[in-house]
A and B are shown apart, each in its own frame.
Chain A
């Protein structure tokens, strides 16, 4: 089985979010970048297929040269090849289109992408990629087994879960639950050394007409101070929630 894992290069979850250039650009100053957590769950599941079922695993990212350390980390975790599409990621559709262009040549049986990135939270890429490739698609996956050309996927739905079956080639939107948090891998020294020798291919982008454009960013208004309630006077809390906040 040939697997492609789409990797988004995102600010670490502890990052403070700021903007520059009159609030039009994300301020990367002092920000640590990581593999998008939803992609990391997918990558770990791909490693399982590699080790247990003899799959090959490529990783791909759409972005400038600054994203290469993130791809190298995926190689150090165990991916076989990395591909970087040499263009900044601008919107979900543009990214999906670039990914589709590479994927259609690659003959992948399974493509895994995080259900959303933790920066722009668009939740577009896996579904758009599937539609562009005319492949089967299952979102919010929390379980995946593949036997021959048949996949059994468990996906999270509002208030529960659902089991579906689909034939390969298949695209899934991965998320927490697809593997246990404790199974996520930290690259070891051997992996890091080996990653240096693994291929990281840079491919040039195709032309895409942009569909959405971010004009500016804004931070939420600062919040007023918390109202502290005496633990011996919980009636006051109930009254405040009822009359002031009007939520009960």
Chain B
């Protein structure tokens, strides 16, 4: 076996790197890290964390003098920090702290605290960077502390005080949101809060003061383990209790859609029948809200990606997943008008949404109550949305609200005098454009509504 095909995201840590071999993700460990790896293994540290469901399980494939190769359990769809809702972000932060506390108690320490070390799998956050552990040196401070603040605590605070959209900042700052910037964006009251003052504002000041000090660690500092545990426990308690300033009431969305109950049920039945015909095991619901329609599918799904632009809907879905201990649902935040791009060094460190979803190739895509928003709010022509859906879907279940639908009327009204430019929004044009990319299978009108459901097969496969 050769550890070629180094994954483009894996170059920062000299302990080893991730590579792809026959579409399977594997990890090569360098001799530099052998001592740590062997002790983590022999003391049962890895096993314990894996049993507790905190660390991704792996098997050792090869151990030579030059390298050790391990194969972690594969994750079908990786989602990134800038695609998490507030509580998903909280869960990732808490997991990182929990692991650090456990590591300290066992003589190890997390050498980094990147938000990209964590992702969602089977209904919960899991730590995926197996090589993040190093020996704990007595009385040394936590070197990943600043990284934790800029990757987790800073973005969470910005989301709390400045709005949930702040969580998207990680898309621009792949190395974490600068602490000085976090400090400058927080309201004054956070300066008189001792915990926030010391963790953010004072930290920003210290960093500013010392970043010109090229002597580096000439002033090496000491910190007892007890003191480090205080930091970790303090952050854990604070983050666990964090809630949004304006916790918006979510949950009445389906009341606003002017659906009659029977139309709602009929829609669910249509989807269920089509998914059954396909024997679909994996689906993505674009604009899936809190996952209501996916949960109404009676077939057993292996995995359902449910994304929405509404942070609160994704949060509500996340809460359902946690409370009901669901393992098949993967909620995340997604803006169809601006899906996550390729970012990082060489633009290949983190993959775009499109690249990930093409690799994932879900059996079916559901796009319910989405097309009118795409067309009338996003001004995306039918042909372009059809091309988008056809780039990753084998089958498409799409709902078309006609011009008399109250939402469509409302969206058209906002166009004012340009309303006439949207005369193309009708069922004939929709069908004509979608037929260029999709083979028509079936359409069903929902009774007592102005909505029609379409079932399409991709012409490409």
Q: Do A and B originate from a single complex?
A: no
| Residues on A facing B (Cβ under 8 Å) | none
